[in-house]
Structure 1
């Protein structure tokens, strides 16, 4: 019985020892395997990453200036056009007949002007004759050859001739004004007729055709949409938290969604004065150094990487080391095998995953980069070179 009891106790002790060994080796009481890195002091080349869409700087919406119906369209989507080219025409309906009627009215008014001018010339001749008669009769009066009453009659005839000339000149002025009004009506009608033609305002590319022949449109509604293919740019969005240092003139690399295997050189043209308050993003326009061939699609997504100015040398760590605990940013620093949470102030970062540490760490400090589980100040750690499933 004693031997059996001792054997049972030995087995239990052995199992307990194995249990304790396993728990402290690979169980919940085991040391947490971590990878560490030393804080380096070096300069980094920060960069800013953003998403945008391809847009055209110059877009022209071509359509009628008055309500009318599309007569014909001479171009299709994708056609290259030239400034001054006739792209289509709106149906003038009875506009040509109205122009002919106004031209006939202009001829009638012009004839009335000629008649008024002839009437003025006749009035001038009458007045000159009346003046000559008055002077001759005044001389005869001095010789007592005629009576004063006869001279008064000639003076009255002169006044009548003056009044008639004034009336003729007033009629001529009215005729000239009528002619100017009719000329303006004809010019306006001709301009309206010319507006029935859809003329290309500049060289460009037809990207949309929103109406077909027979469609009735209101004033301002577009028939064709034309862009300048040489004015393509990227309407890019950048996170405001990382947009410090972003300014016009910085170089950029553009990767189009349809051509992800290559990038295109560009630069920041300008920052928009209005930011997006909802997404908390800064808006910027990024232009190509050379327009890609083939042309990117308008509205296509693009990835933009802007190179920010180089910073001076400061302590730098892998951004994967940064943790947020109790609403504080910091890292787990390793001091003689013990963990201590060190709050830090972050600076700029590059696209390789390095971030500047402005305060909280010194060159040479050891910090945890990756860990198997969440850490705390009482955690036991085992430093390894690499964790399974984590790239170095």
Structure 2
């Protein structure tokens, strides 16, 4: 009699354990965490970038010659018009002196031809008066026709000499003007032997040393306008759609990881990188101008919106999430029962949370964690609500 009783007892114990396990896994309400509405949540977009300069110039001479003077080096600040370097200008100084001498010669020629005109006018006046008298005498038959014709010929010759003198004066003035133009040209060429700063700048690099023979157009210095320093950020196309000019940005430089600089969106390129599928966005950086290093790595955080009221769910609590369409399926608690619900998302935070903008009815709670033994239709209760 003892043996059947032991078997029955064992069966009853197994049945009780099985019923308990069935209840725990199938019928007992799950304890779940749900999302609550949060306030004033900033939506930020992250990107990597580098410190760049909008105005960067590689400057050099327009002539070929040897460098005889270098006044600045890397890291120095210069003002607009400061002399940075000079070329050997001995040959062009000689040409300039020759041009000045040419002007003196041309000016003397002008004065000489002007004096010749005065003389030619006096001769013409005298010949004209003589011809008039001779013609009067010829009319009275006092002199011969040959003498009258000779007087007329001398007057014509005097007139021709005056015309020649006037032409010579025009030619002399043209020569003087050409000499002056040549002098200006030589002065311009001589000025090109001096390299000046085109604007207030910082010398980034010096490419040549004293005595180097440079070619025309070959860079001697690289300089930047320090006021034009900004940060170039590379933002994923999937995250860049809401970025607009003027949006605030926070920038962290690799050399100063404990500092966060403020700035704004200054420019958004209209062409994306076809390989990386990123957009180039440029930001101002207040405070970065003091000690900037071109090419330094930077992290950028662009605030694209601030949501006054929003319901967020972690991305890992979303099934079938389509990043391109911003849709997915969440688990909801409705009437103490678990259900699946398709929703549409609006924004994504840097900590991988998604804001739900449509697809939910009233009095519905969204699960923020997906516990084990999750099943549609199973009863559940809220453990605690997340504080905003």
Shorter-chain TM band: 0.7 to 0.9
Residues paired across the two proteins, number: 381
Partner Cα distance (1:67, 1:383) in 2: 85
Aligned residue in 1 for 2:296: 300
Q: Shift of residue 79 of structure 1?
A: 1.3
Gap change, CA 1:258 and 1:140, over 3 Å in 2: same
Does residue 330 in structure 1 map to residue 329 in structure 2?
yes
Q: Deviation digits for residues 211-266 of structure 1, max 9, x if unmatched?
A: 11222322222111222223321122323322333222222222222112111222
Aligned residue in 2 for 1:235: 232
Partner Cα distance (1:236, 1:269) in 2: 11
Where do 5+ consecutive residues of structure 1 fail to align? 387-392
Which of residues 207, 211, 218 in structure 1 aligns to 2:208?
211
Does residue 344 in structure 1 map to residue 338 in structure 2?
no
Does residue 365 in structure 1 map to residue 361 in structure 2?
no
Paired residues of 1:315 and 1:363 also in contact (CA < 8 A): no
Partner Cα distance (1:376, 1:342) in 2: 14
Partner of 1:72: helix, strand, or coil? strand
Paired residues of 1:63 and 1:221 also in contact (CA < 8 A): yes
Partner Cα distance (2:111, 2:80) in 1: 43
Aligned residue in 1 for 2:257: 260
Partner Cα distance (2:290, 2:32) in 1: 47
Q: Shift of residue 208 of structure 1?
A: 0.7
Q: Which moved more, 1:220-229 or 1:171-180?
A: 171-180
Partner Cα distance (1:299, 1:269) in 2: 18
After TM superposition, the score normalised by the length of structure 1 is: 0.79
Aligned residue in 2 for 1:84: 81
Partner of 1:224: helix, strand, or coil? strand
Aligned residue in 2 for 1:112: 109
Aligned residue in 1 for 2:312: 316
Paired residues of 1:206 and 1:224 also in contact (CA < 8 A): yes
Gap change, CA 1:144 and 1:233, over 3 Å in 2: same
Partner of 2:258: helix, strand, or coil? coil
Partner Cα distance (1:96, 1:20) in 2: 110
Partner of 2:246: helix, strand, or coil? coil
Q: Deviation digits for residues 279-326 of structure 1, max 9, x if unmatched?
A: 3333332213x4347412122122222223434645433344334369
> Which has more strand, going by share of residues?
2
After TM superposition, the score normalised by the length of structure 2 is: 0.79
Partner Cα distance (2:249, 2:163) in 1: 79
Partner Cα distance (2:213, 2:379) in 1: 77
Q: Shift of residue 77 of structure 1?
A: 0.8
Where do 5+ consecutive residues of structure 2 fail to align? none
Aligned residue in 2 for 1:164: 161
Aligned residue in 1 for 2:191: 194
Aligned residue in 2 for 1:389: none
Gap change, CA 1:377 and 1:150, over 3 Å in 2: farther
